Amino acid sequence: MLVFYPGDFSPVCSDQLSIYQEVMPEITAQGTTLVGVSVDSSYCHKAFQGKLGIDIALLADFHPKGEVARAYGAYVEERGKANRSLVLIDEQGTVRWVYESPSSLEIPGANLIFDALDAVAG
């Protein structure tokens, strides 16, 4: 599952990824890997992971800026950042489920991840 978020070190993004880290064992038990994606550099991601104490893989959508977010409809041009979105992709690369937060301040809860996994499995 791709987890698009606006940027490292913001309070809301820090909360979002910390929440997902807490439930990571349950997510991986269902055969799912979370990959966080923002336009920050890999160096920024490494510092962010260290500060939060998380091991969620983070993809640097840095150059060309926002290319991955654009491909999944999660890039907000006027802000130059990804929206807060979740995209579940199966083993064949098919998008199976998408959630786009109505506001960059609204964290998609872990319950949405579990609901998506249940819906796709069921």
Decide if 18 contacts 54 (C-beta within 8 A): yes
Q: How far apart are CA 85 and CA 91, in angstroms?
A: 20
Distances (CA, A) of 12 to 6, 69, 121: 9, 19, 30
Q: Which residues of 93-104 are buried (b: 16+ CB within 10 A; e: fewer)?
A: eeeebebebeeb
**Among this protein's residues, is 44 annotated catalytic?**
no
- Catalytic pick from 13, 58, 74, 117? 13
For 66-85, the DSSP string reads THHHHHTT-EETTTTEE-SE
What amino acid positions are annotated as catalytic residues?
Answer: 13
